[in-house]
Amino acid sequence: MPTRNPATRHTYQRRYPVGAEPVLDGGTHFRVWAPRREHVEVVLEGGAGARAITLEREDDGYFAGLVAEASAGSRYRLRLDRGASFPDPASRFQPDGPHGPSEVVDPAAFRWTDSAWRGRALEGQVLYEMHVGTFTREGTWRAAARELPELADVGITTLEIMPVADFPGSFGWGYDGVDLFAPTRLYGEPDDMRAFVDAAHAAGLAVLLDVVYNHGGPDGNYLREFSDSYFAKRATEWGDAINFDGDGSAPVREFFLSNAAYWIDEFHLDGLRLDATQSIADSSPTHILVELGERVRAAAGPRATTVINENEPQHASLVRPPSQGGCGLDAIWNDDFHHSAMVAVTGRDDAYYTDYRGTAQELLSAAKYGFLFQGQWYRWQEQRRGRAALDLDPARFVHFLENHDQVANSARGDRLHRLTSPGRWRAMTALLLLGPQTPMLFQGQEYASSKPFLFFADHHPELAAKVTKGRAQFLSQFRSLALPEMLGRLAEPNDPDVFERCKLDRAERARHREAYALHRDLLRLRREDPCFSAQRRRGCDGAVLADASFALRFFAEPSTDSGQAAGDRLLVVNLGRALHLDPAPEPLLAPPDGARWAVHWSSEDPRYGGLGTPPLDAAEDDRRVPGRAKPDRPRENWRVPAESAVVLTARDASPTE
């Protein structure tokens, strides 16, 4: 028989408005929003049998109460109107998956060691996108934690973890999560995630979590059993949109705002990455994205936080302060840079690459201004793309050559180094890692992983068939992939072997030592050279040198003695054949007064698998060859090797030069 709970909602000060929270003096306080229900019970499982305890109804659609018998580890469901029982919408852990019982978790039981950690500001960050299930062979938090010192050593500063909210099946990307407060049981228990974050902070790494606030997963999602108000009448391409501004939306907003704060507070995360913000619609006086940023910062207290967002139409206002009509988020993914870079090094220009040419002008403009489309007409979508962004600091743009979507969209999950030549790959990597924007690597990219990253999702047969069909339809926008012989070869998302093939092989770090050295040296140069680390607005300028070649000049702070910037750096990227500059009437190529340019770093260094880099001019080349007479003047001005990138620094010219 159900028993009436003698406790009332006034006896416990909750941390969050919903979910099960253990009480210091004993028992667990439960609270759930179920406005269309008349009766809600907590059904405890285990022991001699299930026991149901009635929660008190509150005036605003919530049900709450203290259950003395429940404690950390107790498993339970919520029975609605004396009928069916369901997992808690705000469950902190689903040990048997989204369809099983919820489990009470005590966040205070974990002993943190990161009290001195103060987070990381946006400037200076080097991001690393990680999928916990494929990052190691074991696919767990504990296994991933063992690799953190190595990531810090190569120069990574911040991890961006793909979604971990629990989802059905035994593998998946995580974007169909249904229990937003429950770290998936597939990677370990909640305290394993806490231990991972603690270890990351000990290694000097910040941790961001990718969260999905634009739709709910299709399987194991029981929110509608508690209220239809969770979802809007409009739909996204992945499912029904979240109701942030319609009838009954106030508790829905609070549910998601609390979720954002929960990850920062109880898991000590350093920020969030918001998935597909173009599908988060809100006509409220204060947009939900503004409040999300505020909640994250409030939950972190004195710690620095970062909130990154993905926004396909590239609305720059998302990262402007609310006082300027923006949402106050910190950074935004820049697909323009990725798309232009892909066309430049692979020649592929169909589907969403249609409006990019991969020219030298595009690449240097992305380095100078971030978005390439800031309101111009975009033929592929037959509408204007982007918003004005010339005023934004470079660090606010996240640049990448690989991410989970783009690697998977190659159909075979191929990494970029397999789609282009080694020289172009090294040169483009230099542009990514030395450019003024915030660079992001995808797991394994730092050592040219041979492992693919494909789309995988373990769904029941009926849903799996729909997902497979939808995936094929999406990829058919690429003309070559639309061919029947190609569509028939696409990986089945629900095939366990597809998931297993995507797991990284850590031994490749040693086997691919040239690629690893390339990334480590570039990140060291970025970190230690003040020109590359500054990330100042208008801190660099550029010039096109040839169809596939350009130079970026990074300006140093002027010397207080001479007023000249002798510390300028010149990054020359040549994606085409060997570049001969004679003459070179471009002011940005002129060295500081009384100096000459010299090669400081080159992607053609044999340490990276290159063929070596001769000196820039023939005169200096002659001086290095024994017995060769010094000519009266250089035979040509400059020579830059084919498919290479070089960093030039100024050195004093000799009296004879």
User: Could you give the residue numbers annotated as active site?
Assistant: 275, 310
Whether the link from the prior residue into 101 is cis, omega within 30° of 0, is no
Q: Decide: helix, strand or coil at residue 71.
A: coil
Query: CB–CB of 134/499 below 8 Å?
Result: yes
Q: Which two tokens stand for residue 370?
A: 């971030």
Q: Residue 46 and residue 48: Cα distance in Å, rounded?
A: 6
- DSSP letters spanning 230-289: GEEEEEETTEEEE-SSSTTHHHHHHHHHHHHHHHHHHS---EEEES-GGG----SSS-HH
Rounded to an integer, what is the distance from CA 66 to the centroid of its chain? 39
- From the list 337, 326, 329, the residue with the least C-alpha distance to 296 is 329
Query: CB–CB of 603/426 below 8 Å?
Result: yes
Q: Residue 465 and residue 123: Cα distance in Å, rounded?
A: 44
Q: Which residues contact 139 (CB under 8 A, 6 or more apart)?
A: 132, 133, 186, 187, 503
List, in sequence order, every beta strand (DSSP E) within 270-338. 271-274, 306-309, 331-333
- How would you classify the pairing of strands 56-57 and 62-67? antiparallel
Q: How many CA atoms lie within 13 A of 462 on its CB side?
A: 2
The residue whose two tokens read 């022991």 is 47
Q: Decide: helix, strand or coil at residue 443.
A: coil
Query: CB–CB of 103/95 below 8 Å?
Result: yes
Q: Residue 115 and residue 129: Cα distance in Å, rounded?
A: 25
Q: Residue 168 and residue 619: Cα distance in Å, rounded?
A: 67
Q: Residue 518 and residue 605: Cα distance in Å, rounded?
A: 9
Query: CB–CB of 164/174 below 8 Å?
Result: yes
Q: Which residues contact 374 (CB under 8 A, 6 or more apart)?
A: 314, 316, 386, 387, 388, 389, 390
Q: How many CA atoms lie within 13 A of 453 on its CB side?
A: 26
